[in-house]
Amino acid sequence: MPSAARGQRVWVLDGVPYRATPPGAHYYPGIRAHAYVGETLPEILQVYASKPYSYARWIEDEINGVRGPGARAAPKTPTAMQLSGAKAIATAYKSGYRGILLGDDMGCGKTGTAVLAAKAICHLGGGDTILITVDRPAQITIGAWRDAIASFGGDGGFRWLIMSPDQLKKLLGKNGQPKHVFAVVINDEAQQFRHITTQRTQYMRRINKLSSPPQQAPFVLSVTATPGHHPGEYTYLSSLLAQIHGERPQQWADLGARLAQMGLPLEPGWEKGKWQWTADAKESTTTQNQAVTRVRRWMENTNPPVLLHRDAPWGPAPLDGLPVEFTPAQWASYHQDWGEFRAEMRLARTGQDTARGRAALMRFRQKASLLRAPQTAELVAATVERGYQVLVAVELTTTAAAPVADLLEEQGLGVSRIFGGGDLETERMSFQVGRNPVVVFNTTSAINLQAREMFADGTRASATPRIGFFHQPRYSGIAARQTIGRAHRDGQVCPWSVIYSADTVEEDAARTMINRLVVTSTSVNGDTSALGAISKLFGADWLPDSFFE
């Protein structure tokens, strides 16, 4: 362990390269990090200085016994929605509930609501430690939460820790139990913990003490507008659901099994630990919506409610479909043997590169998206000429993101690439301030691409209206709804279109995506009115308006 003499301080360093350790930085096994001990931090090491609310700063503060300075940002005035939301969360805490699902629409300011609520809970309960888990990419999301804490009245004198799920293991001791006690835990984009078998979920469950009685566990804010594709994926809410029903957390540890016992149309999936809709439920969106509505009402009907959802005051994002008809030559390429297609399109071989079973479906999606890249680029360029900044959402990189970005740049358009690594925040800011009129991205959550975003220094993003295109329809309704919320937020309307190749596997993907969008919206009682027209386009099992009344 590093130790400081009188007049000295320990600086725990972040991001120091092992192969080219700069002078003065030393690795300490006791903290599993590099550190510097001295009176002042040398200029050469300042780039590695710990940032407020990071794990490096958390350890640094513990070693020195003195907290370092907090973050600073231009102040923001909480909206009426954020203030009322924080009050509702604090009321749930005072009523003895172990947590709440904060499911406001994307862009309604859930981050600010959660920050205000966490501070209120610490004031009420006397706690002073708050953990925030964020979604990828951490280099963007951690900074966004740090700025939010600073802008909404500062840290309040409490100890805050912001981590990605991949870092959570650092909070566990050798016995697998938490090393730290937190008064409040904010799980941002909580749907990332929906799969019980993943390590990140197992770490989260231990740190959130989901197996313990409510009074021995932190108060957990699960923040997401997309809880899951079905109630069996609400695993991070299992202990809260147990509390609602007056049962022990262990009785709900296998959430899917408990829900199936209660009559929900769920059955074990093909992968161990996962649950899925029954065969009958898969064929009926009506059955699915009835099931998610039942679980939602459990949380809405408590006193006070432990589900907080408010629709965006500016309305749902307009959404439509844009089918693309292949030419005879494109059809020939689409049906071409995968090996020949890859060679013709100069695609590198990856992994086993097979084209059987599920892989075959992926290959056809790759073919369709690559063949359509010129049409998408042409549409995007025309939309920029009409005075918009354009978002292009993709899932795959080599056969979707890269070719579309390349074609746009060949036309002289600046493109921000939020995919494939690199300095993603710099790419994001280039789009936000208008230097690049187009962004191609595969990050579905936790980044802001809307017009007039307020930055930490008080300046704002460009006011140019945004339009979004799904170059690739996804099978995931969660990913689709999160993607739409990247620019349709904070009072800014961003219309979206789903581009797909007609009569191909992409049309099936688009149909699945729309059906699942309906279910994910219904799970938090969200506004589904904008999905009516596009669901009819794909022949979806659409519900009558009376179902939502």
Q: How many CA atoms lie within 13 A of 137 on its CB side?
A: 18
Amino acid identity, position 520:
T
CB atoms within 10 A of CB 374: 12
- Whether residue 86 contacts residue 113, with contact meaning beta carbons closer than 8 Å, is answered with yes
Region 315-335: mean pLDDT is: 91
Helix (H, G, I), strand (E, B) or coil at 474: coil
**15, 27 in Cβ contact below 8 A?**
no
Q: Tell which residue, 81, 170, 92, 77, has the closest CA to residue 131.
A: 170
122-149 burial string, b = 16+ CB within 10 Å, else e? beeeebebbbbbbbbbbebbbbbbbbbb
List the strands of the sheet with 389-393, edge to edge. 319-324, 496-501, 466-470, 389-393, 438-441, 415-418
pLDDT single digits (tens) 198-244: 999 999 999 999 999 999 999 999 999 999 999 999 999 999 999 99
Residue 543 has pLDDT above 50, yes or no: no
The pLDDT value given to residue 206: 97
The Cα-based distances of 381 to 404, 409, 436, 483 in angstroms read: 11, 10, 12, 21
Of 94-108, 120-134, 493-507, which gets the smallest average pLDDT? 493-507
Chain mean pLDDT for the chain: 91
CB neighbourhood size of 168 (10 A): 21
Q: Which residues contact 46 (CB under 8 A, 6 or more apart)?
A: none
Q: Which of 247-251, 477-481, 511-515, 531-535 has the highest mean pLDDT?
A: 247-251
Q: What pLDDT, in 10s, does the model give residues 288-311?
A: 999 999 999 999 999 999 999 999
List the one residue out of 57, 59, 81 whose CA is nearest residue 70. 57
Q: What are the angstrom distances between the C-alpha of 188 and each of 97, 104, 275, 367?
A: 19, 12, 23, 35
184/86 Cα distance (integer angstroms): 13
CB 70 within 8 Å of CB 8: no
Half-sphere exposure in the Cβ direction for 145 (13 Å, CA): 31
* Residue 272 pLDDT level (bands cut at 50, 70, 90): confident
Element (H, E) at 35: strand 33-38
CATH numbers and ranges of domains, the chain: 9-64 (no CATH), 80-308 (3.40.50.10810), 319-548 (3.40.50.300)
The pLDDT-based confidence of 351 (bands split at 50, 70, 90) is low
Q: What's the token pair of residue 174?
A: 């050798």
Assess contact for 226 and 190: CB atoms under 8 A.
no
pLDDT score, position 356 = 57
pLDDT at 216: 96
Neighbours of 454 (CB within 10 A): 16
String of DSSP letters for 36-94: EEESS--GGGGGGBPPTTSHHHHHHHHHHTSPPP-------PPPHHHHHHHHHHHHHHH
Tens of pLDDT, residues 75-121: 999 999 999 999 999 999 999 999 999 999 988 999 999 999 999 99
pLDDT in tens, 505-533: 888 888 888 888 888 888 988 887 777 66
At residue 544, does pLDDT exceed 70? no
- pLDDT at residue number 378: 94
The CA R_g of the chain, rounded to the nearest whole Å, is 24
Least confident range from 9-23, 342-356, 472-486: namely 342-356
Q: Are the C-beta atoms of residues 44 and 22 closer than 8 Å to each other?
A: yes
Single-letter residue type at 56: A
Name the burial class of residue 432, with classes exposed (0-12), middle (13-18) and buried (19+) by CB atoms within 10 angstroms of its CB: buried
Residue 542 has pLDDT above 50, yes or no: no
At residue 548, the pLDDT reads: 33
Question: Quick one: pLDDT at residue 350?
Answer: 65
Higher pLDDT, 547 or 483: 483
**pLDDT surpassing 50 at residue 541:** no
Has this prediction a pTM greater than 0.75?
yes
State residue 546's pLDDT score. 38
* Main-chain dihedrals φ then ψ at residue 460, nearest 5 degrees: -130, 160
- Does the pLDDT of residue 171 top 80, yes or no? yes
Question: Quick one: pLDDT at residue 522?
Answer: 87
List of residues 6+ apart from 514 with CB closer than 8 A: 477, 498, 531, 534, 535, 538, 540
Q: Can you tell me the distance from the alpha carbon of 430 to that of 532, in angstroms, rounded to the nearest whole number? A: 35
